[in-house]
Structure 1
Amino acid sequence: MILLVPANPLRPRQPDEHFAAEAHAARAAGLDVAVVDHDALVRGGDARRAVASVSGSDTAMYRGWMLRSEQYAGLADALAERGVVLRTDGAQYRRAHELPGWYAALASLTPLSVWTRGCERADFDRARVELGAGPAVLRDYSKSMKHYWDEAAFIPDLDDGAAAWSVARRFLELRDDDFVGGLVLRRFERFASTEVRTWWLDGACVLTGPHPDSPYDPAPVEVDLTPIASSVEGLGLPFVTVDLALREDGVWRVVELGDGQVSDRPTTIAPQTMIEILLAQAR
């Protein structure tokens, strides 16, 4: 298997510093490592140029910065022209990367959600009314702005249309060109723990650890994956992460599902551990 990582913008033949440790661990484990020009892929839209340094005829796994679904599809197509097949295809990436792709399978395990196509006020208001009065959390298909909680994420009451739209407008300002798909409203639930990140290969959980935003905060109790295991397996996705948090009533809830290739590794998990996971998938 080939491990693909973003290139260092200043040293194009070297891995980006953020992924250098995983690249080094991969080489030590006997994997081929190749770099992808992330800027060419994202800003220039030139997927063929982005993979110009990739050679060989093998299955590949990407470990890098988040990509829009159409950018990932372009990456997959450009690699296929060179005889390299991504383990996760474009359709699978979209299902994992965008909430509408995975929500139905996990609806009973995650906060009630509704969404729009695009970002028009009228569509937002229809979604707001559909979800009903009460607090909600706003995001788009792929990301929230939780670090701007009070101004661009949390809506205290969806019945207050003007205040809700003010949060949505600020969210759109902050996301700008990175906005994906539509506006998603998720029913607010109170959690009693920090988030836990779980890693899944072909529907089986292979690693449980902290979320990258809180790498030194252990889960308060052992995570019970039994209620979600069959649902995650049913998605049929090769490599995903599922972020969980313990609700106040003691029930573990799915906060997010994402493609594992673009899910960050918490600093407390060794890069060698991540590579061992990828090798297990390759087998």
Structure 2
Amino acid sequence: RHPWQRPERITAIGRFGAATNYNELYAQLAAEGIFLIHSPEQYLLASELTHWYPLLAGLTPKSLWFSEPPSFESVAQTLGLPLFLKGSRQTSRHRAALSIIHSAAEYDRAIEIYAEDPILQWQDLVCREFARLRPVPSTATDKIPASFEFRSFWWYGNCVGAGQYWSTDYNWNCEKERAALVVAQAAAVRLNLPFVVIDIAQTITGEWIAIECNDAQESSYGGVSPFTLWRNIIDLESNRSV
């Protein structure tokens, strides 16, 4: 059902997968008086490593990005081995062979596939320093090994939901949750966005780091209860309007 008379201007939160045409979507809705919570510029800041990384240096692994693939020797010398490869937005279904690179031969094979992969071919290539993350029990597959990683949602700097990232059996205690969310909140504050996701993980040495960010409009919930998340946002907005 639709309201009989709606406000001339509505601020809306979208729920969609990774968008390749956010500018167009934003403009189409704006023409109808509906404004998504993030402007196109804010969307890029939340979604593209090339935009958010400069603000999160020190909280996340060292990263370099390229519009054309660099030589293996140059990135290996700068970042060490193994390398972690991804697109500036995302990996291709977490495929380990395209992400964790130990040699020049593996790099060359990955670059060939990147050029044809429908998820990766339109993204800039990102080379990251490989972070050795705390493993969690999981079945061996062709995917990146599951780690002690968590997804957190932030609404104007307030955590409205946090839960495990991988679909396997692990969890944090209160002490680890507090330590992880300190790092996630620092990242969220630096980005200063209305609705952002920060993924954090623990390294094998016990340090918490930010893995990546995303626009929360297009992120999956992971282990976060959607009912709790949206209830928390409603409560924050209700208190703000009092």
The separation in 2 between residues aligned to 1:257 and 1:56, in whole angstroms, is: 32
Among 134, 142, 154, the residue aligned to 2:100: 154
Query: How many Å separate the matches in 2 of 1:111 and 1:259?
Result: 20
Q: Which residue of 1 aligns with 2:137?
A: none
- Deviation, 1:148, is 1.9
- For residues 231 and 264 of structure 1, the distance between their equivalents in structure 2, rounded to whole angstroms, comes to 19
- Equivalenced residue count is 221
Query: Which residues of 2 match residues 56-205 of structure 1 at below 5 A?
Result: 57-68=9-20, 71-117=21-67, 120-121=68-69, 123-125=70-72, 128=75, 131-145=78-92, 147-149=94-96, 151-157=97-103, 160=104, 162-173=105-116, 175-176=117-118, 179-192=121-134, 193-205=147-159
2:14–2:217: 8 Å Cα contact kept in structure 1? yes
| Cα deviation, residue 165, structure 1 | 2.0
* Amino acid paired to 1:186: R
Amino acid across the alignment from 1:166? R
2:171 equivalent to 1:210: no
Matched with 1:271 is 226
Which TM-score applies when normalising by structure 2?
Answer: 0.80
Structure 1 counterpart SS, 2:198 = strand
Kindly indicate which of the two structures has a greater share of residues assigned to helix. Answer: 1
Shift in Å at residue 130 of structure 1?
Answer: 6.1
State how far apart, in whole Å, the 2-side matches of 1:130 and 1:279 are. Answer: 49
Aligned-residue offset at 1:139: 0.4
Give TM-score, length-normalised by structure 1.
Answer: 0.69
Gaps of 5+ in 1: 1-26, 34-54
C-alpha distance in 1, partners of 2:41/2:224?
Answer: 29
1:179 CA displacement? 3.1
- The secondary structure found in structure 1 opposite 2:94 is helix
The share of aligned pairs that are identical, in percent, is 28
Gaps of 5+ in 2: 135-146
Which is bigger in relative contact order (C-alpha 8 A, separation at least 6)? 2
- SS of residue matched to 2:126: strand
Q: What SS does structure 2 have at the residue aligned with 1:176?
A: coil
Q: More deviation in 125-134 or 241-250?
A: 125-134
- 1-side partners of 2:28 and 2:73: how far apart? 40
Give CA-to-partner distance per residue, 1:191-229, whole Å, 9 cap, x none. 114210111111222222111x32643136622122442
Q: Which residue of 2 aligns with 1:17?
A: none
Q: 1:18 matched to which residue of 2?
A: none
Cα deviation code 1:24-48 (max 9, x no counterpart): xxx9xxxx79xxxxxxxxxxxxxxx
| Change over 3 Å in CA distance of 1:280–1:64 after alignment to 2 | farther
Secondary structure, aligned partner of 2:16 = coil
Q: Per the alignment, do residues 108 and 64 of structure 1 end up closer, same or farther by CA in structure 2, a change over 3 Å counting?
A: same
